Amino acid sequence: MPVLGCDDADDPGSTESSWAEPSTLLGMIQRGRGACYGAAHAERAMAAEFVVDCVVHDPRWDHQVEERSWLYATLVVDLGVDLSRLRAALAGPVGASGDSDTWLATGVLERLAHRGVGGSITELRHCLRSGRDLEQVLGSSIPFTGHPEAEGLLDDVLEVADDEQLRSTIG
- pLDDT per residue over 98-124, tens digit each? 567 788 999 999 999 999 999 999 999
pLDDT at 43: 97
Distance CA 19, CA 98 (A): 22
Assign 12 a pLDDT band (cuts: 50, 70, 90). very low
- 67-82 burial, b for 16+ CB within 10 Å, e for fewer? ebbebbbbbbeebebe
Indicate if the pLDDT at residue 15 is higher than 80: no
Report helix angle 103-114 to 69-78, nearest 10: 60
Whether residue 16 has pLDDT greater than 50? no
Give the residue-averaged pLDDT of 61-83.
94
One DSSP character per residue, 125-166 reads HHHHHHTS-HHHHHHHHGGGTTSGGGTTHHHHHHHH--HHHH
In the beta sheet, which residues pair with residue 17? 8
pTM above 0.75, yes or no: yes
Residue 14: pLDDT above 60?
no
Q: What is the DSSP string of 45-94?
A: HHHHHHHHHHHHT---S-TTT---HHHHHHHHHHTT--GGGGGGGGTSPP
Grade residue 77 by pLDDT with cuts at 50, 70 and 90.
very high
Average pLDDT over every residue of 78-99: 81
Query: pLDDT tens across 34-70, in order?
Result: 999 999 999 999 999 999 999 999 999 888 888 999 9
From residue 102, give the alpha-carbon distance in Å to each of 17, 32, 85.
Answer: 18, 18, 13
Q: How many CB atoms lie within 10 A of CB 168?
A: 11
For the ranges 3-12, 79-88, 161-170, the maximum mean pLDDT occurs at 79-88
